Structure 1
Amino acid sequence: MMKQIALSWSGGKDSCMALHKLNSENMKVVCLMTTVPQETSKTFAHNEDVKKIKAQADSLGIPIEFIHCTYDTYTDDFLKELNRLKIEYKLDAVAFGDMYLDGHKEWGQSLADAAELEAFYPLWSNKSEMLHALKRFVDTGYKAVVIKVREDLLPPNWVGRPLNDHFIKDISEKEVCPMGESGEYHTFVYDGPLFKKAISFH
């Protein structure tokens, strides 16, 4: 029987590729989960407008669940909502788009354990594989734009840049993770193989 999976969704390239990988392996993602701090009412991961995240979910044809939390009670709020979603969607597992940061994986695994769910990390690999992972994202046909950078690591005028071969070349010359796993940059995916229509990101 096909497992019912909830996927942690930031709206960026990592969560999109996690969805693509799960889909290609005939895993059923029954809902997307995006955390929204009560302090900002924008997404926790990328400070993105929730309307854009909703537009992504609509185009993908997958329900989106916004998990409202506070910075001080983030894990507890996430677990409470995950337990609710487990019942509502008859979940078997929860998936994350993390790629190599052990601390992130440990947090997600402990969350899944507490909810008595399996934890999936479909993109998990080695840090040395990150440039290849970025190339795979672009080559797969997804379209994404940079929406935020750490200005101590990357030029602020990189905001708005599309992820393409030119971007891959430029970031490979920087002393940062090509996939931005430590928050060097964040992205918004607006089109690609799983999208029914492109999303306006302006």
Structure 2
Amino acid sequence: MGLPKAWMSWSTGKDSAWALDKIRTEGRVEVTALLTTVNQAFARVAMHAVREQLLETQAEALGLALVKIPLPWPCPNVAYEEAMERALAQARAAGVSHVVFGDLFLQEIRKYREEKMAGTGLTPLFPIWGLDTWELAREMVGAGLRAFLTCVDPRRMDRSFAGRIFDSSLLSALPSGVDPCGENGEFHTFAYAGPMFRHEIDARVGQIEERDGFVFADVLPAGNAASESPRERQSK
């Protein structure tokens, strides 16, 4: 008899990636797919603002199926919850019994997830819950996990952090009071390398812009002309 099947709640970021690696190592469940919300209007992952194409590349590099939850824009909470209910019903129909989350310590978020999943027949798992985030961040970096900062809250961090690589240099440069994993919303990431991937994802940072009170770095597939400098484009 095989392991219980699980879907991974996937944001494209480092915490999701590390939680996936952790749950695979533990061997409690078999993760068969990623579950991700996508903004239909812009073809990007919600909040992290990662292009849908790169989300698909991540799924391929992880060797997993990808289940997208399309969301309208703007997206009222009732529309979000209805979309999630349909996705969870789809999971149960596919024989899935667990959903894995990469949450770290925000109790209200965990409580919300547990309440919404109650009665669905699905059990939430939180494999990296409660870990010291400084130790966790250093462990991630030490294991080779790398990610671009795709979204920065300029009220907590300088806008120059947008587009930087999540590595030991970044951890050393973080302002006082900023959680090293960005769990309080200080920043969001796009993971492109690490032990959970079958191969590194070739991507680079393009335009950086400020909108809706946040600073976003547009991560692009390598070779996309929009990610190159004018000098690079002229040389071709």
1:168 matched residue in structure 2: 171
Q: Is 1:123 matched up with 2:128?
A: yes
TM-score between the two structures when normalised by the length of structure 1: 0.92
1:6 matched residue in structure 2: 7
For the residues of structure 1 that align with 2:184 and 2:109, how far apart are their CA atoms?
11
For the residues of structure 2 that align with 1:152 and 1:135, how far apart are their CA atoms?
24
What are the within-5 Å matches in structure 2 for residues 58-73 of structure 1? 58-70=60-72, 71-72=75-76, 73=79
Q: Answer whether contact 1:69 1:78 (CA < 8 A) is retained.
A: no
Equivalent residue for 1:77, pick from 72, 79, 83: 83
2:144 matched residue in structure 1: 141
1:191 matched residue in structure 2: 193
For the residues of structure 2 that align with 1:192 and 1:110, how far apart are their CA atoms?
32
Say which is worse superposed, 192-201 or 37-46, in terms of deviation. 37-46
For the residues of structure 1 that align with 2:111 and 2:184, how far apart are their CA atoms?
16
Q: Is 1:104 matched up with 2:109?
A: yes
1:1-60 CA distance string (max 9 Å, x none): 411111100110110011010011013111100101334431113111111011000011
> Whose helix proportion is higher, 1 or 2?
1
1:134-154 CA distance string (max 9 Å, x none): 111111211211111001111
Q: Is 1:155 matched up with 2:175?
A: no
1:109-148 CA distance string (max 9 Å, x none): 122214221110111106xx11111111111211211111
For the residues of structure 2 that align with 1:7 and 1:144, how far apart are their CA atoms?
18
TM-score between the two structures when normalised by the length of structure 2: 0.80
Say which is worse superposed, 38-47 or 174-183, in terms of deviation. 38-47
Q: Answer whether contact 2:141 2:167 (CA < 8 A) is retained.
A: yes
For the residues of structure 2 that align with 1:98 and 1:152, how far apart are their CA atoms?
22
Say which is worse superposed, 56-65 or 37-46, in terms of deviation. 37-46
Unaligned runs of 5+ in 2: 205-236
For the residues of structure 2 that align with 1:69 and 1:106, how far apart are their CA atoms?
23
For the residues of structure 1 that align with 2:203 and 2:184, how far apart are their CA atoms?
23
Q: Decide which structure has the larger Cα Rg and report it.
A: 2
Say which is worse superposed, 50-59 or 143-152, in terms of deviation. 143-152
Tell me which amino acid in the other structure corresponds to 1:164: D
4+ runs deviating over 3 angstroms: none
In the alignment of these two chains, the number of paired residues is 198
Identity of aligned residues (%): 27
